[in-house]
Chain A
Amino acid sequence: MKKIVLNLEPLTCPSCIKKIEGALKKLDGVEEAKVLFNSGKVRAQFDESKIAADTIAKTVSGLGYPIISQKIS
């Protein structure tokens, strides 16, 4: 189980939270996804044997939220 933290541009419409969290939770291998609305971050726990960190990052940027930086631990 690994943790990924994505730094996004400042989020404005709170409806983005549901959109991003919903899309991530649908991915196989993502255990937990949380959008930190106020700090503009996405935090997710994922199983690295099932899904690549890049796939998670691409899903978020695919929704229309450019990623500034990412950190995996």
Chain B
Amino acid sequence: MNAKRTSKITAVTGMLLTAAIGLHLAGFHEWRQAMLIIATVLAGMPIAFKAFKALKMKAFSIELLVTIAVIGALFIGEYVESAAVTFLFLFGAYLEARTLEKTRSSLRALVDMAPLEATVIRGGETMTISVDDVEEDDRVIIRSGEKVAIDGRIVTGNATLNEAAITGESVPAAKAVDDRVFSGTIVDNGFIEVIAERVGDDTTFARIIELVEEAQESQSKTEKFLDRFANIYTPAIVVLSALVYLFTRNIEMTLTFLVIACPGALVISAPVSIVAGIGNGARHGVLIKGGDIMEKLAKIDTVVFDKTGTLTRGKPEVTDIHAIGIDKTDLLRLVAEAEMISEHHLGQTIVKEAKRQGLELSNEPENAEVIKGNGIRATIQGKRLAIGNRKLMIAEGVAIDKEIADYAIAREKAGNTAIFASINGKIAGVLSIADRIRPEAADAIRELRASGVKQIIMLTGDNRHTAELVGAQLGLDQVHAELLPEDKVAMIQQLKGAGHRVAMAGDGINDAPAIATADIGLAMGEGGTDISMETADVVLMADRLDRFSHAYSLAKATVRNMKQNTFFAVGTVALLLAGVMLGKIFLASGMLIHELSVLLVILNAIRLIRYTKRKSVKRQHFGRELVAE
């Protein structure tokens, strides 16, 4: 008996009932009764069939109760009741399936993004095969508009990729040779060839889906409570109905009890909220690993951030180029060409910036020399370059005007490292390098506060000066610098000891112990590193902090929704019981109230799918430059 046939039967039964009402109004009593009996038998069949199948497997089912109730109703001649109960049971199940599908739609949308086939080159031959047949080290071709079917590294070509499936971010990201691409992402524009590194169930995308599936099943405290309640409720009501029959011989009331014994709204009320909430998160690039995590996250009042890689980008960048007597681009090109020989991270940052701007670094440096701790010297196109700190400039006899010196100091005070460059013994410019604060950090922190976080603390292994600068710029409550990983753990234990509920956000590897200690561990995972995805309770797939504030307010909304549903479900049970006892509710109305309550809790949960955080926090500081070493 499949779902399609059942929904057809439901439709036919509905028509028969309408016809019965028509016959009733026309006064054909006999015909009406016949029509009702046909409807009962027709709609009762799939229910009885399921009950029978379960019974054969020695399993108890709600269908069995309903079948008994309906047979009983037919027996005592309550045809209206029996027809209505069977119809409502089927129709209710149909509507539930339709609406439940909505609460699950976020996950479905994710699953639907899964690639089905891939084009690979094997032995010089290009072929299209099913994703299940792609193996590691296969060379995979992806053209414009196609889906990436594996995790791997680009070997030729470049493209912009829509990574929404992984990060929830729909603005395409530019990728070139050596960049990693992920299964489930779509090539927006371009052509790439990728060597497969992870295939099938091992890809980040497959693991995200599995984690979300598991998260949706893992129960929150409320769910566990409701489950226990339902476990007692159903048998208790069955026993009650037997007792009612023994003592009162009131068959109608006995049967009504059987009908309301299905714990529908009770068991479903909390899970639907959680599923909708987790689904919403997954679509916005936030992985929340389960209902209990959702409940804990909603109660957080203290947030602890790691600095490097969490509040800042974790990668130094060129933040400013101040050129003197030379074009900015020319200066950058010359310096980058010289720095090609450097293995220092600051030098490499400059080279990277030049490449990012698309500059061609074709001139080989001559007489290149690294002066350890100070900088480098090299000759390019006959120009004698010295690039490094103040000491190097003095050693080279390069005069620095007060104006330039003041500029450099100002940049340093803003958290930059200032690098001087001279050409043929004359100062040519100052390059500023810094690990920037994430542009969304200030907004995210403001939103966290607006949603109810009481204090925000930063812990870092970095030096005090830099840490305080970041703390001041972001308006943090406390900043603790120069900490070892175990110091961070101790700080978190101290906070927990003081009665705070602490969330710790870090980049997942060196912060792992602190993340594990906190009530809620939150990992920034660009494309999801293995460790962060496994250990953290919440993973920000998009590597963006504003997703954290979304997750926090989403958790609060989800818990609120869950409470409303629980309250409503328990209230309905009380109402039903009271109604039956007082003789106000019979079979059909009992089933109607029951099905309505189930639908209402589902509809309430669906609201969560569209939930987006309040836009009340203005993005006024978005463009402001925030820098720190």
Contact = CB atoms under 8 A, between A and B. Distances in A.
A32 to B, nearest CB: 13
Interface in B510-546: none
Given A15-B61, A37-B271, A63 B53 contact: yes
Interface residues of B, number: 33
Nearest to B275: A38
B271 A64 contact: no
Given A15-B263, A37-B271, A64-B49, 6 more contacts: A10-B97, A34-B217, A36-B216, A37-B217, A38-B271, A62-B53
A13 interface: yes
Interface in B33-77: 49-50, 53-54, 56-62
Interface of A: 9-10, 12-15, 19, 22-23, 26, 34, 36-39, 41, 59, 62-64, 66
B603 to A, nearest CB: 15
Contacts of A10: 3, 97, 100-101, 104
A62 B56 contact: yes
A9 B98 CA distance: 12
The interface centre, meaning the residue of A22, A38, A39, A66 with most chain B CB atoms within 10 A of its CB, is: A38
A24 to B, nearest CB: 10
Binding site of B, secondary structure by majority: helix, strand, loop or mixed? helix
Given A9-B3, A15-B62, A39 B216 contact: yes
B354 to A, nearest CB: 48
A64 B62 contact: no
Contact of A26 (B1, B58, B264): B58
A37 B264 CA distance: 14
Contact of B50 (A9, A14, A22, A64): A64
Contacts of A38: 104, 107, 213, 216-217, 271, 275
B172 to A, nearest CB: 29
Nearest to A66: B2
B440 interface: no
Interface of B: 1-3, 49-50, 53-54, 56-62, 93, 96-97, 100-101, 104, 107, 213-214, 216-217, 234, 262-264, 267-268, 271, 275
Contacts of B58: 23, 26
B396 to A, nearest CB: 66
Cβ-closest 7 pairs across A and B: A14-B267, A64-B50, A64-B53, A38-B216, A19-B59, A23-B57, A12-B96
A62 B50 CA distance: 9
Contacts of A39: 104, 107, 213, 216
Contact of A36 (B59, B62, B217, B262): B217
A22 B59 contact: yes
B203 to A, nearest CB: 15
Given A9-B3, A14-B267, A64-B1, A19 B216 contact: no
A3 to B, nearest CB: 11
Contacts of B234: 15
Contacts of B53: 62-64
13 contacts: A10-B97, A10-B100, A19-B59, A26-B58, A36-B213, A36-B216, A39-B107, A39-B213, A62-B53, A63-B54, A64-B49, A64-B53, A66-B2
A26 B53 CA distance: 16
Contacts of A13: 62, 93, 96, 262, 264
Contacts of B1: 64
A59 to B, nearest CB: 7
A19 B57 CA distance: 9
Contacts of A36: 213-214, 216-217
B61 A19 contact: yes
B10 to A, nearest CB: 13
Nearest to B95: A12
A66 B267 CA distance: 23
A23 B179 CA distance: 49
Nearest to A16: B61
B209 to A, nearest CB: 9
A55 B403 CA distance: 84
Contact of B60 (A19, A34, A37): A19
B50 A41 contact: no
Nearest to B61: A19
The interface centre, meaning the residue of B58, B217, B263 with most chain A CB atoms within 10 A of its CB, is: B217
Contact of A41 (B61, B213, B263): B213
A37 B268 CA distance: 10
Contacts of B268: 14
Contact of B57 (A9, A37, A41, A63): A63
Nearest to B213: A39
B292 to A, nearest CB: 16
A12 B268 CA distance: 9
A39 B398 CA distance: 69
Contacts of B271: 14, 37-38
Nearest to B1: A64
A10 B59 CA distance: 20
A42 B53 CA distance: 18
A6 B271 CA distance: 21
A36 to B, nearest CB: 5
A12 B54 contact: no
A60 to B, nearest CB: 9
A53 to B, nearest CB: 17
